[in-house]
Structure 1
Amino acid sequence: MSFAIAVLLSGNGSNLQAIMNAIAQHELDVVIKVVISDRLDAKGLERARDAGIPAIFIEPAKYQLREQFDDALSVILNDYHVSLVVLAGFMRILSDKFVSRYLGKLINIHPSLLPKYKGLNTHQRVIDAGELEHGASVHFVTPKLDDGPIIIQSGVEVVAGESSEQLKQKIHKIEHIIYPRAINWISKARVELKNGRVFLDGLVIDEIKHNIVI
């Protein structure tokens, strides 16, 4: 029986597409049971529908409190019996209650080499700071924003004179490789979150190779 996941997104869904491509190429043995968005016009919902995957819009305006939205989200996730919740450009901040409920079963991808550059506009901030390297990180989600234990990272060189858009496209290529890889590890029970640390094949990840450069 294939490992069941849900994908949450707010926009284009390029990471969703990368996951679907990895499944189609038999590089990833999971089933995307449902795709959920907080935006009706999210292209990721269209990608899901085109692939025959249930695509659900939850309208934030219907809920006065963030916790109420998250409760509605939990009902859907429970209905689809997913083992992993994958945040792929989901722009809502989830409540502590929701995160605690799915701790160890909730992952995110962030466009920086965490713990550097948490939050938004990472590409321009990296350029403005004169950094020589930029990248992406997949991490378990904890109540503190962009602060959960890291599963995998990958970096690229920041070339002098390149724009934030050019850098963004380079980071997208990295994301589309490392996110399916992280999901694959979790689906095969190779990754475990224990006492706030990530183990891969029984070894602490930060004692193996923290930054995998592609």
Structure 2
Amino acid sequence: MNSTTATERQARSLADAQFARVAGEGSARHPHLAALLGATGPNAARDLADAVHLLCNLYGRHPGLLDVALATCAPGAARDWLVEASDQYERERLYLVRLSSAVGPLPSTPGAAETEAALQAQRHAVQTLARSERGGCSLGAATALLSDWVAIRPLLDRAAARAGIETPLASLPGETSIARVIEAAVVGPSSERALAFGAEQLLLQHRALFDLLEARAAARLD
């Protein structure tokens, strides 16, 4: 096996590991996401509205994770990819903002102060990942966000259908694009570890968000 082939296989394995990380630790595995997607009872509208508002609180603001990562990224393959990815994700952000208006006000829920404190901590964590100077960390977070958004988007679309607004076509970078930038930009053990760390921490924030949504839904039933 020549060195070029070995390097290519290692790069592909890094991308595969990132996709496996998202599949194993991402939002799709959280039971509350499945509950929201399948909810049909009298509380479904409030629970969906709550999810939209909290997601908008985390990702509806500008600049977001991708914008900050782009602003702090050195020239190269990662920056070139972030230019395109941030532009495409901006459409998702605007969809989220529009949807948060369409679903009505944030449902009244006990523990509002605790919710705001938790969201503030999450926003800080996401921004910190985006600004990280560890080579590969912000790319790990950015690629994990876009990969995990595949699981989150159906939740937005379900809320949009209930609110009677149009569902725009998603046009985010897919696995081929994400794999290509990981293969091109992540070189060496240090950046490999940083990529994994950024992804793991971003996915941790998503799981925490769905934990919070689940707790808020339970609190509204008490």
TM-score, normalising length: structure 1: 0.29
Higher RCO, 1 or 2 (CA under 8 Å, sep at least 6)? 2
Q: Which has the higher helix share?
A: 2
TM-score, normalising length: structure 2: 0.28
Structure with the greater alpha carbon radius of gyration? 2
